[in-house]
Amino acid sequence: MIRSPFAPFFPSLPDSGSYLDSAAKTLTCSAALEAQQSFYREFDCNIERGIYARSAMASDMVEGARTEVAVLLASSPERISFAPSTTHALNSIALGLPWRAGMKVVTTVLEHHSNFLPWLALRRRGVEVAVLRASPDGFLDPDDMRKACDGAFLAAFTHASNVTGSVQDLGALAAAASSGGAFVVVDGAQALSHSEVDISGLCVDAYAFSGHKCFGPTGTGALFISPELREALDPAILGGGSASDSSPEGFEAVKDPPHSALEPGTQNIAGILGLGAAAAFRLGMDHDLRRRHADEITARCLEGLRGIEGLELHGPSGMRSRLPVFSFSVEGLSPHMLAMRLDHEYGLMTRSGNHCAPTLWRTLFGRSRGGVRASFHDYSCMADVDLLIAAMGRIASDARK
Ligand code: PLP
């Protein structure tokens, strides 16, 4: 079996079976593991408000991680806040803005619950929430976005779908959404996992992602936030680091550095260092090789799955603007039963159900039970693809009998 050129950097890559659940969590790279261990072995202390040298050094290391994340997004460190996950980052925006009845938010049918429920919940406060439709293969139309955003305060949409793998034209959508003055909030959890993302020069006010989908540890993530959106936010979670002064009469919210207010309390320091190491690792990868590898996997998987009678592929059928993430179903077989067979009989680790996106499954594919998703990444190899295709060929053939 020819392994991926990136395999040696991922110690948890299984020796037998195939890990096809990278859209839920990528494997952790060695650099991230070592950075976390090194913090607990050598620096083990709290940061920011310690004057002693060890604390100052750990604080500097966290700022170093912030810089790596900023470079990954082609942004600058003062616009990056750490967050425990994409979910937390997006909720911190939804909970911190000054909503009033009659204001309008636009989101889309493609969203993961993390970028759907926080906005839907605003209806309880009288906010109008419009939900934009998508094409049958999972793409958003910039013209539709422009029209929907007329009079909107904020638009929130995903850069890439965790179900269909479709990657949106971020520049065109952000320009359309912001043309009437709306803040633009982007869920980057899937897109940043695979692609180079350059948000400099785009009309994006917030871009959130999770460390555990970018080779980093769980419980980590980050939020790019523009100065304008940051200014409009009144953080909902307060604690150590949130105020420059307080008294029984009130408190002075901290303004400088800009990320302080969005990082209340003690942060996941070891995790952040792991995230920084993962970002540095990503930046050092051969990007052309990554792209070629992903294209080869995508082409082979698409061809193989499309050739299986009785298998329905949900999402883009071509190579254009898509990630190596494939959702499918087989008539007459429940998604969970299918995923169980793939695991028990073939050692293929996939994810079944609606992938926290029931609206997408219902509106695009008319399915309430969802399907099975196989998601590949840099460390995956052609043998993983071939095994999936062979297994699905046999299972679909059984289902036809
Ligand atoms: N957005 C998308 C597109 C996702 O795929 C996921 C997780 O699968 C999330 C948001 C939520 O990420 P987390 O659970 O790390 O907050």
Model confidence at 257: pLDDT above 90: no
Model confidence at 271: pLDDT above 90: yes
Task: Identify whether 257 is preceded by a cis peptide bond (ω within 30 of 0).
Answer: yes
Query: Any idea which residue has 């917030």 for tokens?
Result: 206
Is the CB of residue 114 below 6 angstroms from any atom belonging to ligand 1? yes
pLDDT band at 255 (very low <50, low <70, confident <90, very high): confident
Shortest-distance Cα residue to atom 6 of ligand 1: 189
Q: What is the pLDDT of residues 285-321, one digit of tens each?
A: 999 999 999 999 999 999 999 999 999 999 998 999 9
What percentage of the chain has pLDDT greater than the value 90? 96
Is the CB of residue 36 below 6 angstroms from any atom belonging to ligand 1? no
Average pLDDT over residues 381-394: 98
Q: What is the mean pLDDT of the chain?
A: 96
Q: What is the pLDDT of residues 167-224, one digit of tens each?
A: 999 999 999 999 999 999 999 999 999 999 999 999 999 999 999 999 999 999 999 9
Model confidence at 249: pLDDT above 90: yes
The catalytic residue positions are 356
Query: Could you report how far apart the first and last alpha carbons of the chain are, in Å?
Result: 33
pLDDT value of position 90? 98
pLDDT value of position 340? 98
Average pLDDT over residues 332-355: 97
Is the CB of residue 267 below 6 angstroms from any atom belonging to ligand 1? no
pLDDT band at 401 (very low <50, low <70, confident <90, very high): confident
Q: One-letter amino acid identity for 2?
A: I
- Separation of CA 20 and ligand 1 centre (Å): 16
Average pLDDT over residues 262-287: 97
Average pLDDT over residues 64-72: 98
pLDDT band at 48 (very low <50, low <70, confident <90, very high): confident
pLDDT band at 258 (very low <50, low <70, confident <90, very high): confident
Report residue 84 as tokens: 């425990």
pLDDT band at 256 (very low <50, low <70, confident <90, very high): confident
Is the CB of residue 22 below 6 angstroms from any atom belonging to ligand 1? no
pLDDT value of position 49? 75
Model confidence at 1: pLDDT above 80: no
Q: Which atom of ligand 1 is nearest to the CA of 89?
A: 16
Model confidence at 374: pLDDT above 80: yes
Query: Any idea which residue has 């083990």 for tokens?
Result: 44
pLDDT value of position 348? 98
Is the CB of residue 85 below 6 angstroms from any atom belonging to ligand 1? yes
pLDDT value of position 260? 85
Pocket test for ligand 1, best of 114, 212, 359 (most atoms within 8 A of CB): 114
Q: What is the pLDDT of residues 79-104, one digit of tens each?
A: 999 999 999 999 999 999 999 999 99
3-state secondary structure the chain: CCCCCCHHHCCCCCCCCEECECCCCCCCCHHHHHHHHHHHHHHCCCCCCCCCHHHHHHHHHHHHHHHHHHHHCCCCHHHEEECCCHHHHHHHHHHHCCCCCCCEEEEECCCCHHHCHHHHHHHHHCCEEEEECCCCCCCCCHHHHHHHCCCCCEEEEECECCCCCEECCHHHHHHHHHCCCCEEEEECCCHHHHCCCCCCCCCCCEEEEEHHHCCCCCCCEEEEECHHHHHHCCCCCCCCCCEEEEECCEEEECCCCCCHHHCCCCCCHHHHHHHHHHHHHHHHCCHHHHHHHHHHHHHHHHHHHHCCCCEEEECCCCCCCECCEEEEEECCCCHHHHHHHHHHHHCEECEEECCCCHHHHHHHHCCCCCEEEEECCCCCCHHHHHHHHHHHHHHHHHHHC
Task: Report how far residue 276's alpha carbon sits from residue 294's, in angstroms, rounded to the nearest whole number.
Answer: 24
Pocket test for ligand 1, best of 213, 275, 325, 361 (most atoms within 8 A of CB): 213
